[in-house]
Chains A and B, each alone.
Chain A
Amino acid sequence: MIADPILRVEALSASIDGQQVVEKVDFEVPATGVTAVLGRNGVGKTSTLKAVLGLISRSGVVEFDGVRIDGERTHRVVQRGIGYVPEDREVFASLTVAENLRLAARGGAPHRDMVDELFPDLVARTAQRAGSLSGGQQQMLSLARVLMNDNRLLLVDEPTKGLAPRIVTEVAAALERAAAVTPVLLVEQNLPVVRRLAHTVVVIEGGRVIHAGPAAELLDDDERTQQLLGVHSTDHSAPRGDTDHSAPRGDTDHSAPRGADNTREETS
Chain B
Amino acid sequence: MSTVLLLLITGLGLGALYFLVASGLSLIYGLMGVLNFAHGSFLTLGAFLGWEVARRMEDGSWLTFGVSILVGAVVGATVATLTELLLIRPLYLRHIEQVLVTVGLSLATVALFEGIWGVDPIYVVGPEWLNDTTDIAGALIPNDRFVLIAAALIVLLGLVVFLKRTRYGLIIRAGVENRAMVTALGVDVRRAFTLVFAIGGAAAGIGGVLASHYFGYVSPLIGGSLLIFAFIVTVIGGLGSLTGAAIASVVVAVLQQFANFYLGGTGDFMVVALLAVVLLVKPTGLLGSKA
Q: Is B182 an interface residue (CB 8 A)?
A: yes
Q: Is B174 an interface residue (CB 8 A)?
A: yes
Residue of A nearest to B182 (CB): A103
Q: Distance in Å from the Cβ of A126 to the closest Cβ of chain B?
A: 14
If A75-B188, A75-B189 touch, whether A92 touches B180 (CB-CB below 8 Å) is: no
Q: Is B90 an interface residue (CB 8 A)?
A: no
Interface string of A54-97 (1 = CB under 8 A from B): 01000000000000000001110011000010100010111100
Complex CA distance for A53 and B177, rounded to whole angstroms = 20
Q: Is B291 an interface residue (CB 8 A)?
A: no
Q: Is B173 an interface residue (CB 8 A)?
A: yes
Complex CA distance for A74 and B177, rounded to whole angstroms = 18
- Please provide the chain B residues from 148 to 188 with a CB less than 8 Å away from any CB of chain A in the complex: 170-171, 173-174, 177-178, 180-188
Complex CA distance for A60 and B173, rounded to whole angstroms = 34
> Contact between A94 and B170 (Cβ–Cβ < 8 Å)?
no
Q: Which of B181, B182, B186 is in CB contact (< 8 Å) with A86?
A: B181
> Contact between B188 and A94 (Cβ–Cβ < 8 Å)?
no
Q: Is A244 an interface residue (CB 8 A)?
A: no
Q: Distance in Å from the Cβ of B67 to the closest Cβ of chain A?
A: 38
- Please provide the chain B residues from 114 to 131 with a CB less than 8 Å away from any CB of chain A in the complex: none
If A75-B188, A75-B189, A99-B170 touch, whether A55 touches B183 (CB-CB below 8 Å) is: yes
Interface string of A32-57 (1 = CB under 8 A from B): 00000000000000000000010100
Chain B: how many interface residues by the 8 Å CB criterion?
16
> Contact between A103 and B177 (Cβ–Cβ < 8 Å)?
no
If A92-B178, A93-B177, A94-B177 touch, whether A84 touches B170 (CB-CB below 8 Å) is: no
Candidate in B173, B178, B183, B184 with the most chain A CB atoms within 10 angstroms? B184
- Please provide the chain A residues from 137 to 188 with a CB less than 8 Å away from any CB of chain B in the complex: 145
Q: Distance in Å from the Cβ of B284 to the closest Cβ of chain A?
A: 14
If A99-B170, A103-B170, A103-B174 touch, whether A92 touches B181 (CB-CB below 8 Å) is: yes
> Contact between A78 and B184 (Cβ–Cβ < 8 Å)?
yes
> Contact between A145 and B185 (Cβ–Cβ < 8 Å)?
yes
> Contact between B183 and A74 (Cβ–Cβ < 8 Å)?
yes
Residues of chain A with a CB closer than 8 A to B170's CB: 95, 99, 102-103
Residues of chain B with a CB closer than 8 A to A102's CB: 170
Residue of B nearest to A82 (CB): B186
Residues of chain A with a CB closer than 8 A to B171's CB: 103
Residue of B nearest to A145 (CB): B185
- Please provide the chain B residues from 23 to 39 with a CB less than 8 Å away from any CB of chain A in the complex: none
Residues of chain B with a CB closer than 8 A to A103's CB: 170-171, 174, 182, 185, 187
Complex CA distance for A231 and B187, rounded to whole angstroms = 39
Q: Which of B173, B185, B186, B187 is in CB contact (< 8 Å) with A94?
A: B173
> Contact between B183 and A92 (Cβ–Cβ < 8 Å)?
no
Residues of chain A with a CB closer than 8 A to B189's CB: 75
Residue of A nearest to B93 (CB): A57
Complex CA distance for A259 and B177, rounded to whole angstroms = 44
- Please provide the chain A residues from 84 to 121 with a CB less than 8 Å away from any CB of chain B in the complex: 84, 86, 90, 92-95, 99, 102-104, 106
Residue of A nearest to B181 (CB): A90
Residues of chain A with a CB closer than 8 A to B187's CB: 75, 103
Interface string of A223-263 (1 = CB under 8 A from B): 00000000000000000000000000000000000000000
Q: Distance in Å from the Cβ of B124 to the closest Cβ of chain A?
A: 41
The 9 A-B pairs with the shortest beta carbon distances in the complex, nearest first, are A78-B186, A74-B183, A104-B185, A79-B186, A92-B174, A90-B181, A75-B188, A75-B183, A84-B184
Known contacts A75-B185, A95-B174; 15 additional CB pairs below 8 A are A53-B184, A73-B183, A73-B188, A74-B183, A75-B183, A75-B186, A75-B187, A78-B184, A78-B185, A95-B170, A95-B177, A102-B170, A103-B170, A104-B185, A106-B186
23 A-B residue pairs with Cβ-Cβ distance under 8 Å, sorted by A, are A53-B184, A55-B183, A73-B188, A74-B183, A75-B185, A78-B185, A78-B186, A79-B186, A84-B184, A86-B181, A90-B181, A92-B174, A94-B173, A99-B170, A99-B173, A102-B170, A103-B170, A103-B171, A103-B174, A103-B185, A104-B185, A104-B186, A106-B186
